[in-house]
Structure 1
Amino acid sequence: MSLLQIENLSLAIHGVPILKGVSLEVTPGRILGVIGESGSGKSITAFSAMRLLPNGTDCSGRITLAGQDILARSEAEMCAIRGRDVGMVFQEPMTALNPLKTIGAQVAETILIHEKVSKAQALERAAEALRRAELPQDRFPLSRYPHELSGGQRQRVVIAMAIALRPKLLIADEPTTALDVTTQAQILKLLKRLVVEDGMGLMLISHDLAVVADLADDLVIMRKGEVVEAGPAKSLFRTMKHPYSKALLEASGHVPDRAGEAADMSLLEVRKVVRDYVTHTHGWWGKTGHYRAVNEVSFEIRKGESLGLVGESGCGKSTLTRAILGLEEVQGGEILFDGQPVFTHHHANKAVRRRMQVVFQDPYGSFNPRWRVDRLVTEPFHLLDNPPKGAERDNAVAEALESVGLTADDRYKYIHEFSGGQRQRIAIARALIIKPDLIILDEAVSALDVSVRAQVLDLLAALSDRLGLTYLFISHDLSVVRSITDRVLVMKAGEIVEEGPTGAVFDAPKHDYTRQLVAAAPVLPADVVA
């Protein structure tokens, strides 16, 4: 018996075709994984099931939810269906939650909209929904605000909102993309438990095959608004026929070719670094405390080496990165770059700073959307004593863009005119333009599709070989770290708990925490990889 059935759905927005004859089915108690790259039509298919479509949309085909013809329902009827019969879990919990309302009020709001109950009753049921989402009231009071929670906890609040009325269908749109591997595993386990307990159907949308490999009962693979392959998950992995499906599978386990070798000399030395933060006072007369984010961390990076740094959110990775870049001074220890201190007289050493650059996780968020690409990529020129001007500047911009596979004419465009992968290439071009020795990549590929991620990793490997670059690769994706790093550091609670050659650490971890990270990482079925 079908819970959600989409038959031959075609959809156009202002005359532009988006979906072309899409058909899929979700049954009670089963999980359907919908896989595909950005722009493949995954999310718009899910939004169609809830009739959350923009103005100017034309639909044909048929969508039924628990026997109801969704396309024939009025907007008032759809408002009653959304939240009650079908719940939605969005990718970014912070934007899905109201920062001005407590978590209890936000979960209770769903109940109050659909049922005639008192506010006290709604809050009582909200507490139960949060408990089921593994946020018990004794540890997470209803009075908490979203900013007081971690990313994984916020995602649990969004899940609690979606299941508060025990809907028949739950749609989860990239619910774990920005989460650590252990938190990701916990969220996926939670979703599976809720499916079993409530007998609801789950449509799980993801761009990563490995994420849904062990979770989904059925799979649908989409490309450019069409379903290219579908079937039971266990058999589909072994019987894939479409070239796009095979390409996705190959990209999920892609390992770039790297020919360069690290030199014997150290480029960066971190010696017993300590970084404390002052905590807030409690009450008028309370004393301030201190929180130690980095505790006596020591390591080195050799010239030409690619070093990985892994750990969960809050372990101190970003704090350590800011210290290395000279953005935050440390309270203890020292950081030396090619023998020179990163800080001199409590200020960043400009001569050292210009030899390091960083590539951030969100390329769109790290750019000024009002600036053209030529101005964006030349931002690091402020570190130079005599920045190039005129024709010399134009040549530097063209060289940087062409080195990452873009064209010199792309300098005249704005950042919104590029895809996610192209934006990340521009971010790498910005890092390259002053010819640094060390590039810090802070979750630089975590938000990219697997095929685009493979292309960016190939680019980074090629640049390292050609230019002799050194990388500090920070990521929560262990498969990425394994594919492109020579050595890896594992960080927990501000300390390095394990380090060594990447393959040795991941194949035979010695620390319990490393074992937890490796065990939580999503992997494709062993026989498929083989």
Structure 2
Amino acid sequence: MSLLTIENLSLTIHGTPILKDVSMRVEAGRILGVIGESGSGKSMTAFSVLQLLPHGAACCGRIELSEQDLLAAGEEELCGLRGKEVGMVFQEPMTALNPLQTIGAQVAETILVHERVSRAEAMTRAAEALRRAELPEEKFPLSRYPHELSGGQRQRVVIAMAIALRPKLLIADEPTTALDVTTQAQILALLKRLVSEDGMGLMLISHDLAVVADLADELVIMRTGEVVESGSAYHLFRNMQHPYSRALLQASGHVPERSGGAQEVPLLEVRNVVREYQTHLHGWWGKTTQFRAVDDVSFEIRKGESLGLVGESGCGKSTLTRAILGLEEVQKGEILFDGEPVIDEHHANREVRRRMQVVFQDPYGSFNPRWRVDRLITEPYHLLDAPPLGAARDEAIAEALENVGLSVDDRKKYIHEFSGGQRQRIAIARALIIRPDLIILDEAVSALDVSVRAQVLDLLADLGGKYGLTYLFISHDLSVVRSITERVLVMNSGRIVEEGPTDRVFDEPENDYTKQLVAAAPVLPADVA
């Protein structure tokens, strides 16, 4: 008998169809992977289970949890189920947690809402839930706040909240999207262990087939609000029938075609760079200490080359990037761009700076939402002594948009009118408009669906060949780095621990840390169709 049964579920919001005859089942002690791109209806299906739907939503069909009809349940009855019978793990833990409450208080709150127990007992049970989520109290006191934890640790707190009352069903909505590969592997292993220990059912929502490849027992693939294919994960991976399913599978392992090649002349030289920060005082009379974020790092990027930089959060990637862009001074060493220092007399070298641009992970957060696209992509013009004006400016905007596959008419739109992939194309257009030599891509495709990611990688490869661009790819996604770079650097604790040709480093890693990264990366089964 199924724990959760969804049959012929249809959903409209203000009359607009969102879900169409969706059916799926979750059994106790089993994991169901729900796969699809943004807008496929994955999350709305999950929210329908708990009736956490926006105003104007209307459902029909059948949703049963242990033979209890959830669509017929009233709000009071649903409130009793949420958190107790059904737990929820969201994609972004920082938005799911209250920054003003300690982690202990937030886990205990779940218990206090549903059970009449003392606060002391609730805190004891919260400590146990955090321990089961691999946050033992001796290392992670209940008095800590969310901002004092890493991304993976915050996600463990959200998981602890979801399992505190040992629910029958756990829904995890993209729980590992923004996490490092090793942290992602740990979170997925934790979820699998909890399912085994508690015998609960798990609905794991993801846009990436590789994430659920070794985890899910059954798969459901969704597109535009409909289930296009479902079945046993083992058989589905090896015998996909629907064209959309096969397209997702191909996009997961997509390798763009690159033209051109690296020259022997170095464009960027990083020589023995050290960047330290002064830490906070320890107590009233404590002495300050120095934290070395970048520790004696040296490497070079040749003209026309695509170089990857991989490592976990906190390894020093972002600090090194800021130093390369001239946004931070270094205490030791030097950074040269085409033979010229990036920082000249304690200020960023303007002549050098205009030849470098950056594309960030979150395009929406890197744009001013009050500006139209034409103003957004011309932001780098402030680096030019004589930026184009009038017709020349309009022509440059049109060319930049067309280069990234957008329409000239998009110039008058606002950023909220675009999808995630389109926003990233606009970010690339902004980076291209002053014709830089080096573009730094900081997790530029990590939050995108696999098919959109494949399109953006193809675009970058095409633009690199067309304009002779040099790329520095910073990512925790090893599959992206492997598909688009010729060489890779592996960074750990502020140091470069391994470097070399990308295929050699990933196929035959020499450093133990590199071996851990490669082993943790999600991969599709070797014998898939």
Secondary structure at the residue paired with 1:72? coil
* Partners of 2:384 and 2:100 in 1: CA distance: 43
1:261 is aligned to 261
1:116 is aligned to 116
Q: Does 1:497 align with 2:501?
A: no
1:147 is aligned to 147
Compute the displacement of 1:283 (Å): 2.0
* Partners of 1:113 and 1:187 in 2: CA distance: 26
Q: Does 1:519 align with 2:519?
A: yes
2:236 is aligned to 236
Work out the percentage of aligned pairs sharing the same amino acid: 81
State the AA in 2 paired with 1:335: I
Compute the displacement of 1:522 (Å): 0.2
2:360 is aligned to 360
1:31 is aligned to 31
1:309-320 aligned within 5 A: 309-320=309-320
Unmatched tracts of structure 1, length 5 or more: none
State the AA in 2 paired with 1:138: E
- Cα deviations across residues 359-391 of structure 1 (Å, max 9, x unaligned)? 000111111111100010011111111111111
2:245 is aligned to 245
* Partners of 1:105 and 1:367 in 2: CA distance: 36
* Partners of 2:505 and 2:114 in 1: CA distance: 51
Compute the displacement of 1:284 (Å): 2.0
Compute the displacement of 1:259 (Å): 1.7
* Partners of 1:312 and 1:72 in 2: CA distance: 46
* Partners of 2:159 and 2:71 in 1: CA distance: 26
2:170 is aligned to 170
Compute the displacement of 1:528 (Å): 1.2
1:442 is aligned to 442
* Partners of 1:80 and 1:140 in 2: CA distance: 30
Compute the displacement of 1:321 (Å): 0.2
* Partners of 1:466 and 1:255 in 2: CA distance: 18
Secondary structure at the residue paired with 1:527? coil
1:388-407 aligned within 5 A: 388-407=388-407
* Partners of 2:303 and 2:500 in 1: CA distance: 17
* Partners of 1:76 and 1:288 in 2: CA distance: 54
* Partners of 1:391 and 1:332 in 2: CA distance: 46
Compute the displacement of 1:41 (Å): 0.1
State the AA in 2 paired with 1:174: E
1:308 is aligned to 308
State the AA in 2 paired with 1:528: V
2:417 is aligned to 417
* Partners of 1:456 and 1:420 in 2: CA distance: 11
Q: CA RMSD in A?
A: 0.5
Compute the displacement of 1:393 (Å): 1.2
- The runs of 4+ residues in structure 1 deviating greater than 2 Å are none
2:343 is aligned to 343
Compute the displacement of 1:496 (Å): 0.1
Compute the displacement of 1:114 (Å): 0.2
Tell me the TM-score normalized by structure 2: 1.00
State the AA in 2 paired with 1:295: D
* Partners of 1:262 and 1:140 in 2: CA distance: 47
* Partners of 2:111 and 2:277 in 1: CA distance: 40
- Cα deviations across residues 463-520 of structure 1 (Å, max 9, x unaligned)? 0000000000000000000000000000000000000000000000000000000000
Secondary structure at the residue paired with 2:71? helix
State the AA in 2 paired with 1:197: E
* Partners of 2:67 and 2:282 in 1: CA distance: 55
* Partners of 2:462 and 2:388 in 1: CA distance: 26
State the AA in 1 paired with 2:9: L
Tell me the TM-score normalized by structure 1: 0.99
Q: Does 1:183 align with 2:179?
A: no
Compute the displacement of 1:236 (Å): 0.5
2:384 is aligned to 384
2:460 is aligned to 460
* Partners of 2:502 and 2:283 in 1: CA distance: 47
Matched length: 529
Compute the displacement of 1:260 (Å): 1.1
* Partners of 2:180 and 2:238 in 1: CA distance: 29
* Partners of 1:177 and 1:116 in 2: CA distance: 36
1:21 is aligned to 21
State the AA in 2 paired with 1:142: L
* Partners of 1:184 and 1:478 in 2: CA distance: 12
* Partners of 1:258 and 1:347 in 2: CA distance: 36
